[in-house]
Amino acid sequence: GAVVSQHPSRVICKSGTSVKIECRSLDFQATTMFWYRQFPKQSLMLMATSNEGSKATYEQGVEKDKFLINHASLTLSTLTVTSAHPEDSSFYICSALPTSSSYNEQFFGPGTRLTVL
């Protein structure tokens, strides 16, 4: 099956710093990637939709200037958490939607656990 990777898998940073999370589709191309956030004991919540070569679409309540998304190629999307604060500590998960119509599912990455001290 198709694989989506995320890097790093875990990151700890100080308050006020910026953190970049990468999401890669390893063996397929993805025009669209999604970024989710998951707090402990809660479900996944969509943050934004990332389309290759265009600006991301953010969900209501998600600050686009704080969560910068770049989808510069068909296999890579990045999420940068700027000026991170403890309340940004969460599990961030990306998913990739294959460009090819031969796939019937969306593929999720393993997640990145961010801890802001």
- Which residues here bind other proteins, judged by CB under 8 A? 1, 4, 6, 31-32, 34, 36, 42-46, 49, 91, 93, 95, 97-98, 101, 103-111, 113
**Residue closer to other proteins (CB basis): 84 or 92:** 92
Supply the minimum distance, in Å, between the C-beta of residue 96 and other proteins.
10
Q: Name every residue whose Cβ is closer than 8 Å to that of residue 62 and which is 6 or more positions away in sequence.
A: 47, 48
When the beta carbons of 78 and 95 are compared against other proteins, the nearer one is 95
Closest approach, Cβ 70 to other proteins, in A, equals: 18
Q: Please, what is the minimum distance in Å from the beta carbon of residue 73 to other proteins?
A: 18
- In the complex, what is the shortest distance from the CB of residue 101 to other proteins, in angstroms, rounded to a whole number? 5
* Contact indicator for 63, 76 with CB cutoff of 8 Å: no
Q: Strands 45-51 and 107-108: what pairing?
A: unpaired
d(CA 65, CA 24): 22
